[in-house]
Structure 1
Amino acid sequence: MKYDYLYDQCSLCPRNCKVDRHKTVGYCGCTDSVKAARAALHHWEEPCISGSRGSGTVFFSGCTLRCCFCQNHSISQENTGRELSPSQLSRIFLRLQDEGAHNINLVTATQYVPSVIKALDMAKPKLDIPVVYNCGGYESLETIKALYGYVDIWLPDLKYKSSALSARYSSAPDYFEHASEAIKQMISQTGAPSFDSDGKLMIKGVIIRHMVLPGAKEDSMALLDWMKKELPEGMFYISLLSQYTPFYKSSLYPEINRRITTYEYNKVLDKAIELDLLQGFMQEKSSAREEYTPPFDLEGLDD
């Protein structure tokens, strides 16, 4: 089957753990059986993704990162979820479309890309809304290239520039090396952002998300400098997030066991303005609330 060989000696993410996922779990904690924890309309993405009716989000279980502050830790680290076949996943995509979703939003799907491609192939004859790939940014070029023609909107995080920070908080010292190249590839695949006839909903493009972390505003500003210097002007949107809330194992790291200050966020925002990186979104400081994390209660997974 198409791309199934990527499960054989798994190289779907930069961990390159090389295990046979047909027989055992990889670094991500997953076998070759798709597992998800929620499939429902979601209203808390960027305005051009959620629109008025919501984004059709499918939250996949497992993750290629080990972020100590993960707000979705019950599914990313603890593997909560229900197993689904590609045909079941395909029907979920079409149901979300029937419910009025503006798009199909694949949240942390990297560890299941061969199966997701199968599901999209099955749904494609009836699926007429964009597909969003919502990921942590820690991606391999081979996997991004395999998704060419399947993904309309890339929604990657760009978490860190510093390898010391990415090693400490996400166990990935090579995070920026891989995320920076993956984002360049995403932009080359979609081209310039484009919107519907009303100019409100994105139908193609890249939105780079960055969440400002406590005590790390200098790293955030370094990422903005990199975007300005290395990425083609006008070919991406940015989304600066202020929603950091201490979750999961944040208490083990005293420097991030707090919310960010208004001063920290405003310094990063001022830097974006200084660099003329104005194509995108900012968050109100009040966005740092736990209710933005949906309940992972298996909603929408009955077939």
Structure 2
Amino acid sequence: MAFTKHILFIFVFLAISNKCNAQGLKVGFYKKTCPSVEAIVRKETTRIISAAPTLAAPILRMHFHDCFVRGCDGSILLNSTSNNQAEKDSFPNLSLRGYGSIDRVKSAVEKQCPGVVSCADILTLVARDATLLLKGPFWEVPLGRRDGRVSNSTEVLINLPPPFFNITQLIASFASKGLNAKDLVVLSGSHTIGTSQCSSFSTRLYNFTGVGDTDPALDSNYIAQLRRKCSPTDTTKFVEMDPGSFRTFDQGYYAQVAKRRGLFTSDSALLSDPETRAYVRLQATSKGSTFFQDFANSMVKMGKIDVLTGNQGEIRRTCAFVN
């Protein structure tokens, strides 16, 4: 009983601490110190995504990966050193792209407002603007995050939910970050843009339980289509996560999942829980979709996970290195 009370106290303490930190964020945080920051970020992000629209999905994913490990502190952007392997060099992050784009935006902001705006805030803004540029929703981003000084690859696998998690594991993973089942199903909707390597889901096509079988949760016709694109050993080819509209942020992902055509086990898992299944079916059929507003709300909520504010952390001069 004493142990249970101790654990409960820790969770309550962490929840209060996280909430207090998040209250340090506010829309218009840089109104006096760098009033043009959002305009600069939007201008540079527009240039980047206009030239390379496929970068939007990796940048959005980078923001998610950052927030789930040590909170939204820009630790995903730090380079490894001779005595430390950083988050970006852990296996789940090896496929991330867009670090140079964040550096480019940071450089533009530094020219106007040196030493004022954190890399964590810049990543959050770029993720929002990249989504908007692919015809997704706009949302006001509370700012004021500070940059962390620690980035450790060993923490990634512990904190980041992998694509093979079942619904129980997914809900627990999100709950540990203060996000609920609705946030899970809403944020999964980001799979409406981008692509994935065949190797990330090929087990579902060729050897699901180790006996050369396929995943029964995946539509058989879709399996046949994917097999034509991906051989069992393919490690180079990419497949659209939302076929036909992978460069447009829309609710098409939910139509795919509802037809048992979610690419990852974690996508199919959304049909295993009453709440997440109901949301998938609603967005798959609703003409007056709430997805955009829901996504905006969940992104703001995710962007507040374990943030550093006030005098915590630092404002990095360059995003890949601590000061």
Give me the TM-score of the superposition, normalised by structure 2: 0.26
The structure carrying a bigger strand percent of its residues is 1
Give me the TM-score of the superposition, normalised by structure 1: 0.27
- Kindly name which structure, 1 or 2, has the bigger radius of gyration based on alpha carbons: 2
